[in-house]
Amino acid sequence: MADKPMQETMAYLMMQVSRAHRHKVSTALAEFGLHIGQEILLAYLWETDGLIQSELAELMMVEPPTLTKMLNRMQQVGLLERCRDCEDGRAYRVYLTDKGRELEEPVTQAWNTVNKQILQGLNLEEQLLFRRLLLQIRDN
């Protein structure tokens, strides 16, 4: 059996869906002066403020230099601050500022609005099946 053309594969369709989702999220985040990915970093800090940079890099599945660049940008606009860890002077902990904390509700609301838009037309059963399949694909 011959392989399908690339444009007919599930992987290609997932890439198209990912790009469309990224565009919607990027547009929503621009309202808050955020770039794509920064909301994920903020979400980890909203959950656990004061994470070490290496922990954040691992959680976000990004290389440390990529995270450092993101942190620099976010620190420059006053969303977070970095402080040396008192137990390990080589490590830095990342803390939200008041400005960073204030974004939790509006950014979460914007993310949920995008979520509703992308699931429009799917009933609850279809949404649950879609979620299960995405989790399976992620774990593969």
pLDDT digits (tens, 9 = 90+) for 9-53: 999 999 999 999 999 999 999 999 999 999 999 999 999 999 999
Neighbouring C-beta atoms of residue 73, cutoff 10 Å? 13
Extents of the domains making up the chain: 30-111
Q: Which secondary structure element, helix H or strand E, spans residue 96, and what is its range?
A: strand 92-96
pLDDT score recorded for residue 88: 84
**Mean pLDDT throughout 91-107?**
97
Residue at token pair 């922990």: 55
Whether the pLDDT of residue 74 is over 80: the answer is yes
pLDDT score recorded for residue 1: 57
Contact 45, 51 (CB under 8 A): yes
CATH number of 30-111: 1.10.10.10
Whether the pLDDT of residue 91 is over 90: the answer is no
Contact 113, 106 (CB under 8 A): no
The per-residue pLDDT for range 113-135, each reduced to its tens digit, is 999 999 999 999 999 999 999 99
pLDDT score recorded for residue 87: 85
pLDDT score recorded for residue 93: 94
DSSP classification of residue 103: T
